[in-house]
Amino acid sequence: MTELFTAAKKLLAEHPKRLDDPKMWLFVTVNTARALIDNTDRSGMAALDDAKNCHTAAELQRWYDSIQGRYGREGFSFRSSPVYFYLSSLVAFFDDMPLGDDEHDMIAQAAAFDEYLLYSINV
């Protein structure tokens, strides 16, 4: 995960408008959601387990939206955090695809990783 985190920071420093790599998109999605929960209410980390039940990218995007609704409003806003806005836009603009075992493994690994892009990149 550390290598993926480093690769994500390098890629995001280039400010892409979309992510094409599903692995990178999954990492950004789950990592940003984890940062929101960690910043607001660490006791809510169990909500990350729900991401493993998503069968498509569209379902994972809806899961992310629910995390934003529960945890994003208290600690972050799109106006006060351009990084949060940027990462959320990358989550939102990704084509639907099925999520199989490999993607669920990636979700589980990203959910356990405790360094956050939200605090590590500039936009």
Closest CA to 64 of 100, 83, 90, 102: 90
Predicted local distance difference test score (pLDDT) of residue 75? 61
Predicted local distance difference test score (pLDDT) of residue 37? 93
CB 38 within 8 Å of CB 45: yes
Model pTM above 0.85: yes
Among 33-47, 54-68, 77-91, 107-121, the minimum mean pLDDT is found in: 77-91
Residues whose CB falls within 8 Å of the CB of residue 63, separated by 6 or more in sequence, listed in order? 33, 50, 51, 54
Predicted local distance difference test score (pLDDT) of residue 51? 97
Question: pLDDT of 55-87, one tens digit each?
Answer: 999 999 999 999 998 887 666 655 668 899 999
Asked if pLDDT for residue 123 goes beyond 90, the answer is no
Q: What is the 3-state secondary structure (H, E, C) of the chain?
A: CHHHHHHHHHHHCCCCCCCCCHHHHHHHHHHHHHHHHHHHCHHHHHHHHHHHHCCEHHHHHHHHHHHHHHHHHHHCCCCCCHHHHHHHHHHHCCCCCECCHHHHHHHHHHHHCCCCHHHCCCC
